Amino acid sequence: MVDMKTKRKRDWLDECFEYERTHEIAFASPRALLEARMIAEMDRARRPRRRAQRNGAARRRKAVAH
């Protein structure tokens, strides 16, 4: 038979593990966070930069020599 004190400790531990699983950023090491920021920055730099097309704005066309 499991006593209530042991069951409460196990429930509390399960809640802690569940919180850690759903809030990974809170438990990440500073180095892991730095690496994630660096990877995100490299991804941003690699993407071609395009202007967002505004509503109602005509698309720019290449000039054609006549």
For the chain, domain boundaries: 8-46
Per residue in 15-59, pLDDT (tens digit) is 989 998 898 888 889 998 899 899 999 998 887 666 666 666 666
- Return d(Cα 45, Cα 36) in angstroms, integer: 14
Residues in the chain: 66
DSSP 47: S
Look at residue 37 and give its three-state secondary structure: helix
What is the residue whose two structure tokens read 């109602």?
Answer: 56
User: Does residue 1 register a pLDDT over 60?
Assistant: no
What is the residue whose two structure tokens read 């180095």?
Answer: 31
- Do 59 and 53 form a contact (C-beta atoms < 8 A)? yes
pLDDT of residue 24: 84
In which band, very low, low, confident or very high, does the pLDDT at 14 lie, cut at 50, 70 and 90? very high
